[in-house]
Amino acid sequence: MSYPEPRYFGETGERGGVIDPAGRVPDLTIGAADGTKVHYLATGGSTNGAYGLYRWEMGPKPSGPGPHFHRTMTESFYVLSGTVRLFNGDTWAEGRPGDFLFVPEGGVHAFRNEPGDPATMLILFTPGAPREAYFEELAEIAESGRQLTPEEWTDVYLRHDQYMV
Protein backbone atom coordinates (compact mmCIF):
# COMPACT_ATOMS: atom_id res chain seq x y z
CA MET A 1 0.00 0.00 0.00
CA SER A 2 1.26 3.46 -0.82
CA TYR A 3 0.18 7.01 -0.06
CA PRO A 4 -2.58 8.40 -2.29
CA GLU A 5 -1.89 11.03 -4.93
CA PRO A 6 -1.25 14.52 -3.47
CA ARG A 7 -4.27 16.75 -3.01
CA TYR A 8 -2.36 19.83 -1.83
CA PHE A 9 0.36 21.38 -3.98
CA GLY A 10 1.45 24.42 -1.95
CA GLU A 11 5.01 24.74 -0.67
CA THR A 12 4.57 26.00 2.89
CA GLY A 13 1.29 24.61 4.22
CA GLU A 14 -1.72 26.64 5.29
CA ARG A 15 -3.82 27.33 8.34
CA GLY A 16 -6.93 25.27 8.01
CA GLY A 17 -7.64 23.26 11.13
CA VAL A 18 -11.13 23.47 12.63
CA ILE A 19 -11.78 23.04 16.35
CA ASP A 20 -15.22 21.76 17.29
CA PRO A 21 -15.85 22.37 21.01
CA ALA A 22 -17.24 19.42 22.96
CA GLY A 23 -20.12 21.25 24.62
CA ARG A 24 -21.85 22.64 21.57
CA VAL A 25 -25.51 22.02 20.75
CA PRO A 26 -26.20 19.00 18.49
CA ASP A 27 -26.79 19.73 14.82
CA LEU A 28 -29.83 17.46 14.71
CA THR A 29 -32.21 15.52 16.95
CA ILE A 30 -33.96 12.47 15.52
CA GLY A 31 -37.19 11.64 17.30
CA ALA A 32 -38.55 13.35 20.41
CA ALA A 33 -36.48 15.78 22.47
CA ASP A 34 -34.92 12.79 24.24
CA GLY A 35 -34.15 11.07 20.91
CA THR A 36 -30.85 10.61 19.12
CA LYS A 37 -28.63 13.69 19.03
CA VAL A 38 -26.33 13.97 16.02
CA HIS A 39 -23.21 16.14 15.88
CA TYR A 40 -21.77 16.82 12.42
CA LEU A 41 -18.09 16.74 13.38
CA ALA A 42 -16.93 16.62 9.75
CA THR A 43 -19.12 16.28 6.68
CA GLY A 44 -18.14 15.21 3.19
CA GLY A 45 -18.61 18.85 2.23
CA SER A 46 -16.23 20.13 4.89
CA THR A 47 -13.56 17.48 4.15
CA ASN A 48 -13.57 17.85 0.36
CA GLY A 49 -15.21 14.44 0.09
CA ALA A 50 -12.56 12.61 2.13
CA TYR A 51 -14.85 11.39 4.94
CA GLY A 52 -17.82 12.16 7.14
CA LEU A 53 -17.57 11.85 10.93
CA TYR A 54 -20.57 12.07 13.25
CA ARG A 55 -21.04 11.77 17.01
CA TRP A 56 -24.21 9.75 17.60
CA GLU A 57 -25.75 10.18 21.07
CA MET A 58 -28.61 7.75 21.60
CA GLY A 59 -31.18 8.67 24.23
CA PRO A 60 -33.20 6.56 26.64
CA LYS A 61 -35.23 4.69 24.02
CA PRO A 62 -34.28 1.67 21.91
CA SER A 63 -33.13 2.87 18.48
CA GLY A 64 -31.03 2.03 15.45
CA PRO A 65 -31.44 0.78 11.88
CA GLY A 66 -32.04 -2.78 10.78
CA PRO A 67 -29.46 -4.72 8.76
CA HIS A 68 -28.42 -2.89 5.60
CA PHE A 69 -25.46 -2.17 3.33
CA HIS A 70 -24.02 0.68 1.25
CA ARG A 71 -22.65 0.45 -2.29
CA THR A 72 -20.58 3.65 -2.30
CA MET A 73 -18.96 3.95 1.11
CA THR A 74 -17.46 2.20 4.09
CA GLU A 75 -18.84 2.74 7.58
CA SER A 76 -17.05 2.47 10.90
CA PHE A 77 -18.35 2.60 14.46
CA TYR A 78 -16.43 3.41 17.64
CA VAL A 79 -18.32 3.15 20.93
CA LEU A 80 -17.57 6.01 23.33
CA SER A 81 -20.04 5.30 26.16
CA GLY A 82 -22.82 2.91 27.08
CA THR A 83 -23.57 -0.31 25.23
CA VAL A 84 -24.45 -0.50 21.53
CA ARG A 85 -25.36 -3.76 19.84
CA LEU A 86 -23.27 -4.04 16.67
CA PHE A 87 -24.05 -6.41 13.79
CA ASN A 88 -21.26 -7.39 11.39
CA GLY A 89 -23.50 -9.20 8.91
CA ASP A 90 -23.03 -12.51 10.72
CA THR A 91 -23.42 -12.00 14.48
CA TRP A 92 -24.52 -9.37 16.98
CA ALA A 93 -22.03 -8.26 19.65
CA GLU A 94 -22.37 -6.01 22.69
CA GLY A 95 -20.22 -2.99 21.79
CA ARG A 96 -18.78 -1.28 24.84
CA PRO A 97 -16.53 1.80 25.15
CA GLY A 98 -13.43 1.28 23.03
CA ASP A 99 -15.01 -1.34 20.73
CA PHE A 100 -14.70 -0.71 16.99
CA LEU A 101 -16.49 -2.13 13.93
CA PHE A 102 -15.33 -1.50 10.34
CA VAL A 103 -17.72 -2.33 7.47
CA PRO A 104 -16.48 -2.30 3.85
CA GLU A 105 -18.63 -1.31 0.89
CA GLY A 106 -21.37 -3.94 0.50
CA GLY A 107 -20.91 -5.23 4.06
CA VAL A 108 -24.18 -5.96 5.84
CA HIS A 109 -24.33 -4.26 9.23
CA ALA A 110 -26.63 -2.68 11.80
CA PHE A 111 -26.55 -1.14 15.26
CA ARG A 112 -29.08 -0.99 18.06
CA ASN A 113 -29.39 0.70 21.39
CA GLU A 114 -31.42 -2.27 22.65
CA PRO A 115 -31.66 -1.57 26.36
CA GLY A 116 -32.54 2.07 25.75
CA ASP A 117 -29.84 3.33 28.08
CA PRO A 118 -27.94 6.38 26.82
CA ALA A 119 -25.02 5.44 24.58
CA THR A 120 -22.65 7.42 22.36
CA MET A 121 -20.51 6.42 19.40
CA LEU A 122 -18.62 7.89 16.49
CA ILE A 123 -19.74 6.95 12.98
CA LEU A 124 -17.25 7.41 10.14
CA PHE A 125 -18.13 7.21 6.43
CA THR A 126 -15.45 7.06 3.71
CA PRO A 127 -15.49 8.65 1.29
CA GLY A 128 -17.51 11.58 2.62
CA ALA A 129 -21.03 11.01 1.31
CA PRO A 130 -23.75 13.57 2.17
CA ARG A 131 -25.18 11.48 5.02
CA GLU A 132 -26.49 14.52 6.87
CA ALA A 133 -29.24 14.79 4.20
CA TYR A 134 -30.34 11.25 5.08
CA PHE A 135 -30.25 11.94 8.83
CA GLU A 136 -32.23 15.15 8.34
CA GLU A 137 -34.86 13.35 6.28
CA LEU A 138 -35.23 10.72 9.01
CA ALA A 139 -35.61 13.48 11.61
CA GLU A 140 -38.30 15.20 9.52
CA ILE A 141 -40.22 11.94 9.12
CA ALA A 142 -40.04 11.25 12.86
CA GLU A 143 -41.01 14.82 13.80
CA SER A 144 -43.98 14.91 11.44
CA GLY A 145 -45.29 11.53 12.59
CA ARG A 146 -45.79 10.67 8.94
CA GLN A 147 -46.13 6.93 8.26
CA LEU A 148 -44.33 5.98 5.05
CA THR A 149 -45.46 3.14 2.82
CA PRO A 150 -42.92 0.41 1.99
CA GLU A 151 -42.52 2.01 -1.44
CA GLU A 152 -41.80 5.42 0.09
CA TRP A 153 -39.20 3.90 2.44
CA THR A 154 -37.57 2.17 -0.55
CA ASP A 155 -37.35 5.55 -2.30
CA VAL A 156 -35.77 7.21 0.77
CA TYR A 157 -33.23 4.41 1.11
CA LEU A 158 -32.31 4.33 -2.60
CA ARG A 159 -31.68 8.10 -2.67
CA HIS A 160 -29.26 7.69 0.26
CA ASP A 161 -27.34 4.51 -0.69
CA GLN A 162 -29.09 2.47 2.01
CA TYR A 163 -30.04 -1.08 0.98
CA MET A 164 -32.09 -2.86 3.63
CA VAL A 165 -31.59 -6.61 3.98
In tens, the pLDDT along 3-18 reads 999 999 999 999 989 8
Q: Collapsing DSSP states into helix, strand and coil, what is residue 86?
A: strand
pLDDT value at position 110? 98
pLDDT value at position 84? 96
pLDDT value at position 24? 92
Average pLDDT over residues 34-45: 94
Sheet holding 52-58, edge to edge: 28-30, 36-42, 52-58, 119-126, 74-81, 100-103
pLDDT value at position 33? 79
Nearest CA among 106, 103, 141, 137 for reference residue 123 = 103
pLDDT value at position 34? 83
The answer to whether 160 and 125 have CB atoms below 8 angstroms apart is no
Average pLDDT over residues 41-68: 94
Nearest CA among 78, 138, 135 for reference residue 111 = 78
CATH class of 28-164: mainly beta
Distance separating alpha carbons of residues 85 and 125, to the nearest angstrom: 19
- Looking at per-residue confidence, does 62 or 70 come out higher? 70
Res. 75 pLDDT band, cuts 50 70 90: very high
What is the value of pTM for the model shown? 0.93
Q: How high is the mean pLDDT of the chain?
A: 95
Question: What interhelical angle do 150-159 and 131-144 show, nearest 10?
Answer: 150
Please state, as a whole number, how many other Cβ atoms lie within 10 Å of the Cβ of residue 134. Answer: 16
Residue 103 has pLDDT above 90, yes or no: yes
Instruction: Say which residues have a Cβ less than 8 Å from residue 107's Cβ, sequence separation at least 6.
Output: 69, 74, 75, 88, 89
Average pLDDT over residues 79-105: 97
Average pLDDT over residues 22-29: 93
The ranges assigned to domains in the chain are 28-164
pLDDT value at position 55? 97
Quote the percentage of the chain above a pLDDT of 90. 87
